[in-house]
Structure 1
Amino acid sequence: MIKILLLTDFSSGYGRSLLEGVVRYAREAGPWVFYRMPLYYRELHGDEGVVRWAKEWGADAIIAQLTDVDLDILNRLDIPIIVQNYKERYHGLSNLTGDYYGTGVMAAEFFIRKGFRAFAYYGFTDTVWMRERGEGFRDTVADHGYPVYALDDGKQMSGRQWNFDAGRVSRWLLDLPKPVALFACDDYYALQITEVCKMYDIDVPGDIAVLGVDNDNLLCNISDPSLSSIELDIENGGYEVGKLLHQFIEKEITAPVDVIIKPVRIVPRGSTERFAVSDKYVGQVLGYIDENYRNPLSVEDLIRLIPYSRRVLEKKFKGETGISVYQYIQQQRIDRFASLLITTDLPLVEAAANAGFTDYKNISRIFVKMKGMTPLQYRKRFAVR
């Protein structure tokens, strides 16, 4: 029987989804047994205490969330250790990490398509996941010629150890140009923003549109309005962690390997339910597309709604969103198709039709261009097994 010591936080939606993935692999490969050691055990007894306990229990591997790592102590165990990185990634160990930069890029592209010209990031720089999500967001926004406002007074904050100051955050929010697209480093921080907005009568999404990360259903639905969030491939990442540990235990591999959790999609809710375009007719067209992209829809249909010629609409639409009308419709359909691929068992052709595609022959080519893989590959990669 394989014994896995879990030294991590499973109070969050992220942690629970991760554990579900590990347990799913264990059911297939078992028998495995787990022991959940609370994080405070390490705080009380240090790495020496963790090593003693692991030896006494006979642990075969450890999954640990560590803000700092003493390799000299942990290496005494001579068992596989996968570290869920927090402050930094670690050399000489396998990291459970993420495509943090790509998550920030996804957030920026989402808001740019909605026509925003003012952007803000809520997160700090002393943890790798906050820092890189912010970098991806800032770099992508900068590529379109806009700055990103950040809450920064020169202090180095430390994740959830930061003493939240609602007054300070409210002053920052009130000073931001409006409307503004705010990307928070995760749902916990996004919820702080919507709570402060509620306290200080700041309209969400009218003045500030808010997007988080993790798609933690509890946190997203506690918020008023409910939080839009980037869904990560967490459970499948946990499955890969289990598989990697098994390979280490069986001596199939020996060198450290990182497990990288990818962003999958944006789950839109009330906190981003608006467009920030200056042209009311472009805003009208955007709203109509979002309501009707699953039906037959052409640029000619849209021109009938507004007093613009096709040429004028195309010019103004691209000026507001950065892409053409046709590209926007295709993006909405591809996003819907991708969502159906990982949340349903619909056949590919039926899922494509549900997303508004009438000609399936070309969809794979379009999908590969936008998502970097075929629809079938995407389903195999991101659907929860």
Structure 2
Amino acid sequence: MKNVAVLIETSTGWGSGMVTGISNYLDNSGENWNVFLEPRGKFEPLRLPKGWTGDGVIARVNNADLAEEILQAEIPCVNVSWYDYGQGTIARCTLDEEASGRLAAKYYLEKKYAHFAYCGSPWRPNYDDLFGQAYSQALTSAGYDCHHFPASGIDRELPWIEQLRQLGAWLTELPKPCAVLAIDTQTSRQLIDAAKHAQLGVPETIAVLAGEYDELASGITRPKLSMLDNAAQSVGYHAAQLLDRIMRGEANGGELVAIQPNNVISEKSTDWTVLADERLVRALRFIRDNYYRPIQVADLAQHAGASRRLLEQLFDRHLAITPSRQILLVRLEEAKVLLDRSVLTMSDIAARCGFDSSEVMCRAFQREMQLTPSEYRKRRRGA
């Protein structure tokens, strides 16, 4: 039996997803690890347990002291953080941060925004923010500017209301409507509070997207917070797999496993599409609110107050898509969320997403994703 320490925060959805992914690997591989795991807060400085000796570590290596401890102890380790402490000597398995930034830009561009901004975190000292850089670069490539919250960031020592005033003043100066990406859920929630304090509507004036997934944080936020799916279970699974290989002598500390993001969990904080034609906006909102019903293009046209032919022309002119395909894509996005976040059967998921049957859903899913729903579920959970 190998002794393995898991040093990650347990107070977030990301942390619990990581632990689940590690557990899934142990179930599938038949490995019998003795795992050290204790409750940890998100910004708590992590260290090796005093007096602990073991065979391997999976850790969010978020500070130089922890990296030095691991290197001095000569313990095989897999870093699951976006921090690159020990690069080349401590292996890493993490979500591809640059691909995540590009996915966020793509998400907002598809909503037809013309103004964009990014807000990093004051809680991440010495972090080279490749996520925010990739977001900004993707927008620049598309012909748009990206405003950044000042590099000095928020003074964490200020009272909460003063922090909100700082953020609110920045939000007020942005061109509107503006699509804002924040590095994490805490910063995103603070942005929403700051927008409210500055009397800026969310999402109609300021849309807010978080760069990480935390269902608890989203659920308690009003409006609910949209988030990038950071594939925590998949990262945990592959981190455990990589550590197992290192402990067997089949891999070394120079390895990097980058998990690709492929989903945005859309909620009310980004529930806005910037389009000049109100009829098209009404049609899109009707799809969003009724995708699980047996709706047809004729239903969209009636709700939008346009003929079917005119509505099809509007979709083609502004979105380069047909109304029926938009319905399909919304249903598939919801199916992806349920496949990833639930244990529902294919029939139940199909019914909840508006498909006539599980067979219809599976055919559409495989046509669009090039894999079956079952394969998608296994891949997202790291199996």
Normalized against structure 2, the TM-score is what? Answer: 0.80
- With over 3 angstroms needed to count, the CA separation of the structure-2 counterparts of 1:133 and 1:308, relative to structure 1, is same
CA distance in 2, matches of 1:147, 1:215: 26
How many percent identity over aligned positions?
A: 26
Q: Which residue of 1 aligns with 2:324?
A: 326
Q: Which residue of 1 aligns with 2:181?
A: 183
CA distance in 2, matches of 1:346, 1:85: 31
Residue-by-residue CA offset, 1:109-153 (whole Å, 9 max, x unaligned): 33334343322222279989873332443344445543322223x
SS of match in other structure, 1:82: strand
- With over 3 angstroms needed to count, the CA separation of the structure-2 counterparts of 1:96 and 1:161, relative to structure 1, is farther
Normalized against structure 1, the TM-score is what? Answer: 0.80
Q: Which residue of 1 aligns with 2:194?
A: 196
SS of match in other structure, 1:66: coil
Q: Which residue of 1 aligns with 2:105?
A: 108
CA distance in 1, matches of 2:368, 2:346: 17
Q: Map residues 1-385 of structure 1 onto 2, 5 A cutoff.
A: 1-26=1-26, 28-34=30-36, 36=38, 40=45, 57-64=52-59, 65-68=61-64, 74-88=70-84, 90-123=87-120, 131-142=129-140, 144-152=142-150, 155=151, 165-254=163-252, 256-321=254-319, 323-348=321-346, 351-358=349-356, 366-368=364-366, 370-383=368-381
CA distance in 2, matches of 1:308, 1:41: 59
Which stretches in structure 1 are left out of the alignment for 5+ residues? 43-49
One-letter amino acid of the structure 1 residue matched with residue 136 of structure 2: R
- With over 3 angstroms needed to count, the CA separation of the structure-2 counterparts of 1:109 and 1:365, relative to structure 1, is farther
Structural RMSD (CA): 3.6
SS of match in other structure, 1:62: strand
CA distance in 1, matches of 2:145, 2:132: 12
- With over 3 angstroms needed to count, the CA separation of the structure-2 counterparts of 1:278 and 1:129, relative to structure 1, is farther
Which stretches in structure 2 are left out of the alignment for 5+ residues? none
CA distance in 1, matches of 2:26, 2:359: 40
| Structure 1 residue 310, shift from structure 2 partner | 4.4
SS of match in other structure, 1:263: coil
CA distance in 2, matches of 1:330, 1:130: 39
- With over 3 angstroms needed to count, the CA separation of the structure-2 counterparts of 1:178 and 1:71, relative to structure 1, is closer
CA distance in 2, matches of 1:110, 1:336: 15
| Structure 1 residue 269, shift from structure 2 partner | 2.7
CA distance in 2, matches of 1:261, 1:329: 29
Residue-by-residue CA offset, 1:214-269 (whole Å, 9 max, x unaligned): 32233223423221222222123213222322232233444643343443533333
CA distance in 1, matches of 2:186, 2:242: 29
One-letter amino acid of the structure 1 residue matched with residue 34 of structure 2: W
One-letter amino acid of the structure 1 residue matched with residue 174 of structure 2: L
| Structure 1 residue 288, shift from structure 2 partner | 1.4
Task: State the aligned residue count.
Answer: 372
Q: Which residue of 2 aligns with 1:45?
A: none
| Structure 1 residue 32, shift from structure 2 partner | 0.8
CA distance in 2, matches of 1:6, 1:215: 20
Higher relative contact order (CA 8 A, sep 6+): 2
SS of match in other structure, 2:332: helix
| Structure 1 residue 277, shift from structure 2 partner | 2.2
- With over 3 angstroms needed to count, the CA separation of the structure-2 counterparts of 1:289 and 1:143, relative to structure 1, is farther
